[in-house]
Structure 1
Amino acid sequence: MPRKPAPGTRERILDVAADLFDRRGVHAVGMQQIIDGVGCGKQLLYREFPSKDHLVVAYLERSAQAWASTLARVCATVDAPEDQLVELVRAVQGMAPNTRGCPLRNTHAEFPDPGHPAHQVSLKHFQDVREQLRELARRTPAAHPDRLGDRIMLIIDGLYVSGSTLGPTGAGATAVGLAQDVVRAEIAAQAV
């Protein structure tokens, strides 16, 4: 009878894989590197994740969940939707300088085939984020809420792209200020 994996094995594998994927990219990391990093046997890894594609999808789903948690936290602690939009940019500002970019965006770029599960998961995430930001913007008095949501998404994407190169005081402070300016301009346009 096969042994049951220790509690937390799946998460430990995901932690090691996420670290390697984040630092090197998904294609650059082989399953043996993950096995070596976890210190487990090949059978254990493949029992938890039958293929690298399964592991990559789990990694992306966990990354998407991190965004969902950030969104929920911001919406629970900040009252006004216009302030929530700015606070989301501030939350990403705190994460972006410490990364090689957005894990979902990076993986999407590595898997351009629309039929690949990694492409599909990342694309769905960005479609969901866009709709979430637009929905928040629709709760503001902005003249063009969908445009406001899209602009906030572009600011967030810019933080992930430039955050690691410009650092928290470069890209981060600029991005938060830009988000505030964009929100104010969209709301002012409504008043005209």
Structure 2
Amino acid sequence: MDHSVRYDRLMPRKPMPDARERILETATRLFNRYGVHAVGMQQIIDECGCGKNLLYSQFTSKDELVVAYLRRCSGDWDDIVADAKAAASDAGPQLVELVREVGVRVNEPGSRGCPLRTTFAEFPEREHPAHQVSLDHFVRVRTQLRELAGETSAPDPERLADRIMFIIDGLYTNGPIFGAEGAKTAVAFAEDVVRTETTPAR
């Protein structure tokens, strides 16, 4: 007796991502690799294997797709914060762990640094939605760092937070160039900054 039909019915099918998510995943991969300006909608259609009508039913314009991409990238920062907080119990070490986590990510294969910073540079026009979303992200990151620094003993937590943000920015910019050793240097620098800012003056 042939049981192949019954067997096929019992085999679980791997769920396919919905159209919007599949398009966004493809766009994210291409934008991360080539930059937003260098990637056209037709390239996304070809790479994704979807039709033009399907893409535009999910994203009415490239700007809308870019905004969705940037919001996804902004969400990745929340993962970094969560990992840093899980790695240390106190705010000072958590700031250092943030730098460490960024160092890990910028040294992943194919990394071009922070996608939001790259896109921010690609769209200098203040009224462009990509510029606005990127800027909102930076403001949010700075606020998070200041809140975390406020939980330390630093007499000037805003200065501590801004110094950590400068380290993170430098790591995103130069991390892919300096590699793992550069990431170690950034972590050591962050440790020095936290120690200096939280040690009472004599």
- Does TM, scored on the shorter chain, surpass 0.5? yes
Provide the TM-score with structure 2 as the length reference: 0.88
Quote the sequence identity (%): 58
- The structure having more radius of gyration, on CA atoms, is 2
Count, aligned residues: 185
The alignment status of 1:108 with 2:120, answered yes or no, reads: yes
Report the Cα offset of residue 143 of structure 1. 2.2
CA deviation profile, 1:57-103 (whole Å, cap 9, x unmatched): 00000000010122123224421000110000000010012311100
Segments ≥4 residues shifted beyond 6 Å:
none
Q: Any gaps of 5 or more consecutive residues in structure 1?
A: 1-5
The alignment status of 1:177 with 2:185, answered yes or no, reads: no
The alignment status of 1:118 with 2:130, answered yes or no, reads: yes
Aligned partner (choices 60, 76, 81) of residue 50 of structure 1? 60
CA distance in 1, matches of 2:30, 2:17: 22
Q: Aligned letter for 2:93?
A: D
User: Which structure shows the bigger proportion of residues in helix conformation?
Assistant: 1
Q: Report what 2:143 is aligned to.
A: 131
CA distance in 2, matches of 1:8, 1:76: 32
Q: Aligned letter for 1:131?
A: T
Report the Cα offset of residue 159 of structure 1. 0.8
The alignment status of 1:89 with 2:99, answered yes or no, reads: yes
Report the Cα offset of residue 7 of structure 1. 4.1
Report the Cα offset of residue 156 of structure 1. 0.6
Q: Aligned letter for 1:154?
A: F
CA distance in 2, matches of 1:104, 1:14: 16
CA deviation profile, 1:125-173 (whole Å, cap 9, x unmatched): 000000100110010001211011001111111111011111122x100
What RMSD over aligned residues (CA atoms) do the two structures have, in Å? 1.2
CA distance in 2, matches of 1:48, 1:74: 34
